[in-house]
Amino acid sequence: MRAEHAGYACGAALGFLGDLVAGDPRRGHPVAAFGRAAAAVERRLWRDDRGRGALHTALCVGGTAAGAALLERAVRRSSPASVALTAAATWAVLGGTSLCREARAVGGALAAGDLDVARERLPHLCGRDPQALDGQQMARAVVESVAENTSDAVVGALVWGAVAGVPGLLAFRAVNTLDAMVGHKSPRYHRFGWASARLDDVAGFPGSRLTAALAVLAGPDRRGAWRAWRQDGPSHPSPNAGPVEAAFAGALGVRLGGTLAYGGRVEHRPVLNGAAGHPVAVPDIGRAVTLSRRVSALALAATVAGRCAAGAVRRARTAGRAK
């Protein structure tokens, strides 16, 4: 293994461990700083226009990627500095521990029968209107959020880190954050957020498929996860959430999807794993968290191995041409 790949592997593992142990800081998170900067750019650029939205996306994501590339270039001659930068970037973009912590908090409130506390905590996980949900519906929302955000907050970032190093890690998180900020279908962002939403679909594609595949591998019901992914995933309106939620539903033996409310609007989504699954119950939240943790650990191993293997192939080709 060449030093650069060994350095990335070590840095990614340290960053993953940092998220596992410490999670996100309560104040001063780099992603929050990016969000404030993106909001400031939006205030200068906003028009009800796709072109302005595309410029906003290009400036925010391109600026993040360019800055990360300059940092990576500045430390490339120092292995300790390169490892430290990769570790810091990996920790900054991963959100697996916070995701699982919030899921357990809602699950604990539901188990205690305290629906008011559960409704108060649910917005930390997803954008649904908690006042419109009963206990079972909140449990379902938590499991769906755990599934989707395992891809968005962990696996997708690791995939792009393996592909493009620190710029890939930070650019993916920038894309994902912009989609959460402006990519939803509200009157203000229907046109302005179009570019961010489409770019998020593209950037999330490989991570969502790897997440679904690892859910099949790591889940308690592999056959059910595979069946639900292939049969029900394509019917979901999101090209990336569909495969992930369907695979989690099949792996856990639960039914996901159905009617939900976002910001005053109601959506009727197809039911995932409807024929074989049972309605989500509170204990299923803990099972979903366990599956998320397994998928995340496998994703780290798979992406690091993939980066090292790709480097070995490139070296072999270069050596072959040199002969």
Q: What are the residue ranges spanned by the domains of the chain?
A: 3-322
Among the residues of the chain, which ranges form H helices?
3-22, 30-45, 50-75, 79-93, 96-111, 115-121, 135-150, 156-182, 194-218, 222-232, 241-252, 283-322
Determine the angle formed by the axes of helices 194-218 and 241-252, rounding to 10 degrees. 20
The predicted pLDDT at position 128 comes to: 82
Question: What average pLDDT does the structure give for the chain?
Answer: 93
DSSP 237: S
pLDDT confidence bin for 256, thresholds 50/70/90: very high
Higher pLDDT, 265 or 225: 225
DSSP 171: H
Contact (Cβ atoms closer than 8 angstroms) between residue 144 and residue 245: yes
The model's confidence at residue 170, banded by pLDDT at 50, 70 and 90, is very high
| pLDDT of the residue at 26 | 75
3-state secondary structure of 59: helix
The CA distance from 134 to 141, in Å, is 10
Q: What are phi and psi of 265, to 5 degrees?
A: -110, 145
pTM over cut 0.85: yes
Is the separation of the CB atoms in 110 and 138 below 8 Å? yes
Say what the pLDDT of residue 311 is: 79
265 sits in which H/E element: strand 265-268
- Given a cut of 70, whether residue 61 has pLDDT beyond it is yes
CA–CA distance, 177 with 160 (Å, rounded to integer): 15
Query: Residues 299-311: what's their mean pLDDT?
Result: 92
Burial tier of 82 (Cβ tally within 10 Å: 0-12, 13-18, 19+)? buried
How far is residue 112's CA from residue 106's CA, in Å, rounded to a whole number?
Answer: 10
Alpha-carbon span 237 to 45, nearest angstrom:
29
Alpha-carbon gap, residue 172 to 69, rounded angstroms? 13
Neighbours of 100 (CB within 10 A): 23
